[in-house]
Amino acid sequence: MSDDTPTDEADSADDGATESERIERIAVVGAGTMGHGIAAALAGDGRSVTVYDVDEDALNAAREAIEDAVATLVEHEGHDLEDAARVLGSIAYDSTLSTAVADADLVIEAVPEDESIKRDVLGRIERAAPPHAVIATNTSSFSITRLADTLDRPDRFLGTHWFHPPHIVPVVEIVRGEATADGPVRAVETLLEDAGKTPVVVEKDVPGFIGNRIQSAMAREAWALLEEGVASAEDIDKAVKGTFGFRLPALGVFEKGDHSGLDIHAKVLDELLGEINRDTSPSAALTDLVENGRYGVKTGRGVYDWSEVDVPAATEDRDRQLLSLLSVYEERERPAPRTGSADHPADDPTAPDDPDETPDDR
């Protein structure tokens, strides 16, 4: 693959960058849905970001999307237009890979989720980037260890798994491969914290990491419920958004379990796990839509009909709603209580004497 391969989207042997080293120059390879949002999230505060794509139209679209994203963030955070101009001024656009990554401290690959494309692009990035650069992939599912076998410096390689839309969703997973050194992990962790993100370090390289494994389990059951006619798509979405989804920013999974009572939680799982869908392939309800070209917003129809919707306005509205939730997340973000051991559980003076009085696991 040449230096002009379209990328639509989405000291070498040492321990690497020290924990205190600041990543100042960032290159994002791929100007698509994820790439431009990552650039918007990381620009500013003294950092410079270069967005690369061979497709000039993709770069122009990314520039417009970044301007909209930065304007939304500035408005939410109460800054002024000079702040937006400063952030936008720190972002450059380049259609030549070798110049885009030439002086980068960190290169984030955000090309399409195709392993052969990623392997080729990662190899070209390593050859063009400085030896000290940390190289990260934004893969959602591929093994970091397997992708690293493309590289001469696997100790400088890791995953940074961002969630859509990346300029708003607070958590970014940092995924270690088997050869990833501590220095690059610490440097990227510091960068993300400085950018206002919440880094989560995935210590074991498992497919899908943390968020996508849990999200995929939920999606499998939701599609099964739709296919079986248990409820409409609208009502399934309402149930998710208005029940456990409503609680997740404040409690997560395990903290919620502690509040409800793990005894009840275990009983509910024992009752339901045998009933929950176990398919190892996507639901026919999903594959039928895909086979008919109904991909969602980008094709005008998916589960819902978007053909008459003002998509830019809907996207702006989505971002404003997510930003309001982000405010709640930031307000509620606090360390969970110390985890106890099974032999010495923490005493809880508020715990009910009668287990039957424990709140149920709804």
HEC states along 59-127?
HHHHHHHHHHHHHHHHHHHCCCHHHHHHHHHCEEEECCHHHHCCCCCEEEECCCCCHHHHHHHHHHHHH
Return the pLDDT at 76.
76
Closest Cα to residue 42, out of 51, 52, 54?
Answer: 51
pLDDT of residue 333: 66
Strand 25-29, strand 106-109: pairing: parallel
Beta-bridge partner residues of 339: none
What phi, psi does 282 have (nearest 5°)? -60, 150
Please report the pLDDT score of residue 334 as a whole number: 59
Q: Contact, 109 vs 10, CB < 8 A?
A: no
What was the pLDDT predicted at 9? 41
156 contact partners, CB below 8 Å, separation of at least 6: 12, 16, 132, 133, 134, 135, 181, 184
Strands 48-52 and 134-137, how do they pair? unpaired
Q: Give the contacts of 329 (CB within 8 A, at least 6 positions apart).
A: 170, 249
- Burial pattern 131-152, b for ≥16 Cβ within 10 A else e, equals ebbbbbbbbbebbbbebbebbe
pLDDT in single tens digits along all 362 residues of the chain: 444 444 444 333 344 444 446 799 999 999 998 999 999 999 977 899 999 999 999 999 999 999 988 888 777 776 666 778 888 999 999 999 999 999 999 999 999 999 999 999 999 999 999 999 999 999 988 999 999 998 999 999 999 999 999 999 999 999 999 999 999 999 999 999 999 999 999 999 998 999 999 999 999 999 999 999 999 999 999 999 999 999 888 888 999 999 999 999 999 999 999 999 999 999 999 999 999 999 999 999 999 999 999 998 998 888 888 988 888 788 776 555 666 544 444 444 444 444 444 444 45
The dihedrals phi and psi of 347, each to the nearest 5 degrees, come to: -70, 140
Strands (E), the chain: 25-29, 48-52, 91-94, 106-109, 134-137, 157-161, 171-175, 198-202
* Cβ-proximal residues to 63 (8 Å cutoff; 6+ apart), any chain: 93
DSSP state of 232: -
**CA 76 distance to own-chain centroid:** 21
Please tell me the predicted confidence (pLDDT) of residue 233.
Answer: 97
The answer to whether the CB of 70 falls within 8 A of the CB of 100 is: no
pLDDT of residue 14: 43
Task: Give just the sign of the alpha carbon dihedral 208, 214, 215, 216.
Answer: positive
